[in-house]
Structure 1
């Protein structure tokens, strides 16, 4: 029987070319916004992310050219890509938030009610069950550790195609959500329902009001210096936390170690359940985030095979891994 082999442009472990293209596109969108109404960046806030990204890039080059190891290379580029996207995407989200129109909170709350979902009722139920709420809150706060753990787990397991799908899906979802947030800006459920901490004394939501000084400052023009080390999540609709929870759940489902697979999926699902209360999101935000995640995963399964004929040495390093 004749054996078939993957074509050079469709390696089973995928490539990082589309991820770099997405990063470039996200950065390019900042340029016209800067030309119209420029922002400045705080220098101290740039030092840590830029320095760490350069370190990861140097190590990735080492493990592509001088000590070829596809697993380490994929993990390093995955961490570097998500770090860079977080910095560039957060900057873009702030610049877009400064140019948005009327808030959509009333409409989003109406969508919730139309679907039979009672956000204030859910908040009060959670407040009456603080043990369950605490578990959800802890899961919500672990999103970045989840991302790091997932990249390392998939890399060490040799699931390099899944690692690249997760990374690129997170970028596709992030860019999509940032752009949609400019069309449908919203403050948060806590602001819309005029709640105060005393109204939910047993809860300690991670993102109830923390973003409001920046959100208000961007909209009234008083905030024009971006500090990457102090940025808050401004986006309500769709929920990026909800989208990442779905993407991470899919990623952990590809882990080869059963205990890690099940634990990771449970934590990701708890993060998704926690998002309405701990993130101050409408249920419609979360549902939209889930839909964006599903579509992004479907697209990423194809984009990891995209080849851009640049950086041949780095691309060669990504192709050294055996099929998994």
Structure 2
């Protein structure tokens, strides 16, 4: 995992250098993320041989939360230099797929726009992408399921790489930008960020990335959908968290078309990415010597 992390950092640095995009090392957001990652790495090293259950839990939380945060941050940053190298959009193709599937995004959006309660619930569900991994990784640390926590991180990592590669060839602005015209009756959580930022990056008018205001620019495949599948799969073996994680992430999936401004085609692609990532990690882990088998259902 250390080697893979180093390769990811190197690739991200190369992408940023190639496109002339920089991250201000003295910006408050950069310093905060650097402090968090440094603290996590320090705790992981100091407690590498824990002498109590509390130290073990602290070590595992520092390791898994630190890695998950770093991977999420790198993935979001990577969308900027990758977007700068893209051309055109595949929105017409995605719209054709939705039409073939009889999915009416405008109708879905209008229902939410007409009901304030759905807007509040949808926003909360969409933002739960930050809550589910914290619950799962925290439970794995508490229950001494270190391998399961690492499995989620590895699957998330692989899914992010696949999504970024596909984004390079499948840029899209999303249905909010392409199907709605004029003032928006309801401003979704993701809004028009892809349509606003991608042209700026392509024209090299945007050179600085603020870590405190990052916006993931991957429209297709939907990474919220991929994440929901990954979180459900990771929590499924554990009876104590299975049901709440399932409910929360099903709600997130229902909110994704509007709040994430995603076509149904995006979501199908995102689910496929998650399944492929899980299969890849499962196969690799089975081939590694000394790797424990996947945990059975636990309380």
Number of aligned residues: 291
Q: Please state if 1:275 is matched with 2:259.
A: no
In the TM superposition, residue 269 of structure 1 has moved relative to its aligned partner by: 1.1
Please list the CA deviations of residues 102-140 of structure 1 after superposition, one character each: whole Å capped at 9, or x if unmatched: 111111111111222111122123334443443232111
Q: Please state if 1:30 is matched with 2:16.
A: no
- Kept after mapping to 1: 8 A contact 2:193/2:217: no
2:129 is aligned, of 106, 120, 143, to 143
d(CA) in 1 for partners of 2:181 and 2:39? 44
- Kept after mapping to 2: 8 A contact 1:71/1:156: yes
CA-atom RMSD in angstroms? 2.7
Q: Which has the higher contact order (CA 8 A, sep 6+)?
A: 1
Say if 1:273 and 1:25 are closer, same or farther in 2 by CA, change over 3 A.
farther
- Kept after mapping to 2: 8 A contact 1:42/1:227: yes
Aligned to 2:278: 297
Report SS of the residue matched to 1:199. coil
Report SS of the residue matched to 2:185. helix
Give structure 2 stretches of 5+ with no counterpart: none
Say if 1:197 and 1:143 are closer, same or farther in 2 by CA, change over 3 A.
farther
d(CA) in 1 for partners of 2:231 and 2:22? 33
Aligned to 2:206: 223
Say if 1:53 and 1:185 are closer, same or farther in 2 by CA, change over 3 A.
same
Please list the CA deviations of residues 49-85 of structure 1 after superposition, one character each: whole Å capped at 9, or x if unmatched: 1110110011111221354755443332111111111
Relative to the length of structure 2, the TM-score reads 0.87
In the TM superposition, residue 268 of structure 1 has moved relative to its aligned partner by: 1.0
1:285 is aligned, of 262, 266, 271, to 266
In the TM superposition, residue 25 of structure 1 has moved relative to its aligned partner by: 2.9
Aligned to 1:208: 191
In the TM superposition, residue 305 of structure 1 has moved relative to its aligned partner by: 5.9
1:1-324 equivalences in 2 (<5 Å): 17=1, 20-43=2-25, 44=27, 45-65=29-49, 67=51, 70-196=56-182, 198-200=184-186, 204-257=187-240, 260-304=241-285
Report SS of the residue matched to 1:205. coil
